[in-house]
Structure 1
Amino acid sequence: MSSKRNSTPLKTTNKKVVLQCIKENQPISRAEIASKLQISKPTVSLLVDELVQENWVLEKGIGMASSQGGRRPIQLCFNEKAGYVIGTDIGGTKVKTVICDLIGNIICSSSFKTNHYLQTGLLKQIHKEINCMIQTYQLDSSKMLGMGVGIPGITEPTNGVVVEAPSINWVRYPFITEAKRYFSFPIFVDNDVNVAALGEQWLGNGRSKDNILFIAVGTGIGSGIIIHNQLYRGSSCAAGEMGYMVTDKNDMRNEFKPIFHRYGYLESVAGGKAIGERLTKLIRQKQDHPMFEEASKSELTGEIAFTLAKEGDEAARLVVDDAIEHLAYGIINAASLLNPEVIILGGGVFKSSDYILPRLREIVYQYLPSSVELNTSQLGENAEVLGAVSLFLREFESVLN
């Protein structure tokens, strides 16, 4: 009686293992799967037949005969077109959505400015964009497995509530509940930097790594932490808020004021907005500076600061190098605590990675207790949307995971 009861879970587990084996070793024969997994040939054959019938696996061509002769084996491949997954990144500036196959190839994408639809409904517009993509690219809507979403704020993945996302004015926003008004498929949601970390682990510079620290440096600074192949979210889903690290105690003693309300110390001295603001103030004191007139009229951007620094501008280098030093101290602190295999740097500031990365490595490698890879994001602006797809594939209970 008990063996019958246990047969279904065991079969499901074996089916997942067989599919994973095919994905990792394709093209591969039934006999090769049985040998690799130490599962009987009849069991493997039965499971493969089901996977083929369900369209997860394709039979492609004939392999080489064995040295003993006999029939040449049929080769098996994973069918990455068996379904589609939607990935959405909701940012303070824009909302980007992609539709991907099951191995992360982007089939189509769309985006719109966040502030255009904040009042009328972001979810309504996302729904409209997805339907438009499905129709334009003639995709089978019945093959849409579901959607993963990255949110720029503290998010509770278990109940789909956005605790706080200041850039889009959401507080205790019931995201999943609202999303169900527009979508019939499953949806999973998490912080945008967390999903970016998942994206880099899946398809970027974190592949084959189980311990990853992804740091996003833009206006603010945040990080996604993967420990033993699991996202670490913390007790209240607020882990990874590196922007709140303090890298100069003297500043804190002098009534430090954050660059924005409720922003942390590190992002107020090393974020893109902070870099631009500090350079502007410095140039306004130098009437002979080529950028004096522009700085007098409006605030310079972090991007301008890096451009000037690369050109050798003394004021820009002073500001940018100081920000890099603060960021390096933050990285040293985080890496000393977490001991990741790789640290991946993303976000808008790292468009200037050719200037930043060598200087960061010089400081970080000098003080870290153990070695670690320090790289920039391989996925770039697609880290969040592809990470959202990865989030769905990890969380959605199916033969794929």
Structure 2
Amino acid sequence: MQMKSINKKRVLQCIQEHAPISRAEISAKLSISKPTVSILVDELIQEHWVVEKGNGEASSQGGRRPIQLYFDEQAAYVAGIDIGGTKVKMVISDLSGTIVSQCNFPTNQYLEQGLMIQIRDKLNHLVKHAGIKQEAILGMGVGVPGITDTVNGLIVDAPSLNWMNYPFISEAKKYFSFPIHIDNDVNVAVLGEQWLGRAKNKRNVLFISVGTGIGCGIIIDNQLYRGTTNAAGEMGYMVTNKNDMRQNFHPLFQRYGYLESVAGGKSIGKQLTLKLQKNREHPLFKKATETELSAKDAFFLAKSGDLLARQVIDEAIEHLGFGIVNAACLLNPEVIILGGGVSQSAEEILFHVRKLVDQYLPSSVDIYPSQLADNAGVLGAVSLFLREHESIIRHSW
């Protein structure tokens, strides 16, 4: 019985990867007898995982044209949720990663109380909007910005959400009857890029997210690497200037690391604001005394030729570049993907980072901006569920 289950999974995966494909071609590829393949395919059709097209009529060259098999990407759906420090993004996706419905809402408004209720209500709305049945949802994948105990469903430490040892899965089970899988948001994003983005068909991948904080998702030999205590990839804690650390360094936020305190998006805005406050002649002096500028402001000013902004950006990019060199030296990936909020200025960042990497890295590596961009987290959450949930369609890309 176990062998039949294994073969059934193999047949389904073969159809997913090679459709359109005939029963005879599956038999040849998997070295499983034609009668066995035919029985398994018939079961998959009855269970609505597979559809067949064509009627086996004779072709113009004579002989019967084989019936072609396709994976039914709309056989079921998965919810993907990306919980960020400022907003929560939600999607419903089919099994191919096509988004059929999506929404987002501000995190802070619901963080203290009512977050699960809001997620439940929004999900019900998305299901209705997509025109699918509630029972068509297989389950939900969730990405969270912090160290996550995936086995016990705990958010161990998420500074931007002020969560410590938060029992996410047990809380979620009060509102959802389907299975849920959680992981660190950057781990989730690297899965998304490997499934549908720039890292497709790559087995060794780094996804570096540069937002308020800096994190890194790591895939080694096609497996997500979480580390002993699920804290692998906390790249924001790298030190890229030992003298700075010795001189009474203070992190940007409580429990934040050195690299994200000097090269993260919040740091870029803060450093520019401090410089402007010391320069009364600058056109933005008054604004800088009233409010803190953003990384977006800094990149815009630098692009328009502002020397102070250029100085801040160059300093941050240099720190980030050396952090990437350190990570790439250690892990030797095939590709590095740059994502997160600051990656909206990815082309400018990448130009300088590539120069540093080419100069100091012992072997070359491709570096690209995220292809999935703002959807890396939610589609990665869908990918997480499809990888982790034990079912016939469990993926292991």
Normalized against structure 2, the TM-score is what? 0.96
Distance 1:28 1:67 in 2: 20
Match of 1:201 among 194, 199, 218: 194
Distance 2:351 2:57 in 1: 49
Match of 1:108 among 101, 104, 122: 101
Distance 2:165 2:289 in 1: 40
SS at match of 2:252: coil
Q: Does 2:241 correspond to 1:261?
A: no
Superposition pairs for residues 88-127 of structure 1, below 5 Å? 88-127=81-120
Shift of 1:354: 2.2
Distance 2:137 2:120 in 1: 13
Amino acid at match of 2:18: N
Match of 1:339 among 332, 345, 353: 332
Distance 2:58 2:314 in 1: 62
Aligned to 2:6: 13
Distance 1:370 1:65 in 2: 55
Match of 1:172 among 134, 159, 165: 165
Q: Does 2:391 correspond to 1:391?
A: no
Amino acid at match of 1:159: N
Match of 2:307 among 275, 291, 314: 314
Give me the identity figure in percent: 64
Q: Judge conservation of contact 2:56–2:64 (CA < 8 Å) in 1.
A: no
Shift of 1:64: 8.4
Aligned to 1:25: 18
Q: Judge conservation of contact 1:310–1:355 (CA < 8 Å) in 2.
A: no
Shift of 1:216: 0.5
Distance 1:134 1:374 in 2: 37
SS at match of 1:164: strand
Aligned to 2:136: 143
Distance 1:61 1:216 in 2: 46
Q: Judge conservation of contact 1:282–1:315 (CA < 8 Å) in 2.
A: yes
Aligned to 1:270: 263
Q: How many residues align?
A: 394
Q: Judge conservation of contact 2:159–2:255 (CA < 8 Å) in 1.
A: no
Aligned to 2:230: 237
Amino acid at match of 1:192: D
Q: Judge conservation of contact 1:85–1:100 (CA < 8 Å) in 2.
A: yes
Distance 1:23 1:199 in 2: 17
Match of 1:324 among 288, 296, 317: 317
Distance 1:246 1:169 in 2: 24
Distance 2:2 2:26 in 1: 20
Distance 1:260 1:120 in 2: 23
Amino acid at match of 1:41: K
Aligned to 1:4: none
Match of 2:297 among 295, 300, 304: 304
Query: Deviations along 1:83-119, whole A, 9 cap, x unmatched?
Result: 0100011111111111110000000012111111122
Distance 1:116 1:281 in 2: 29
Amino acid at match of 1:89: D
Amino acid at match of 2:17: E
Gaps of 5+ in 2: none
Gaps of 5+ in 1: 1-7
Match of 1:373 among 360, 366, 371: 366
Amino acid at match of 1:218: G
Shift of 1:296: 2.2
Shift of 1:283: 1.8
Distance 1:151 1:280 in 2: 29
Distance 1:102 1:312 in 2: 46
Shift of 1:79: 0.1
Q: Judge conservation of contact 2:101–2:129 (CA < 8 Å) in 1.
A: no
Amino acid at match of 2:322: Y
Normalized against structure 1, the TM-score is what? 0.95
Distance 2:56 2:345 in 1: 48
Shift of 1:286: 2.0
SS at match of 2:135: helix
Aligned to 2:351: 358
Shift of 1:62: 4.5
Distance 2:265 2:33 in 1: 58
Shift of 1:33: 1.1
Match of 2:46 among 25, 50, 53: 53
Aligned to 1:82: 75
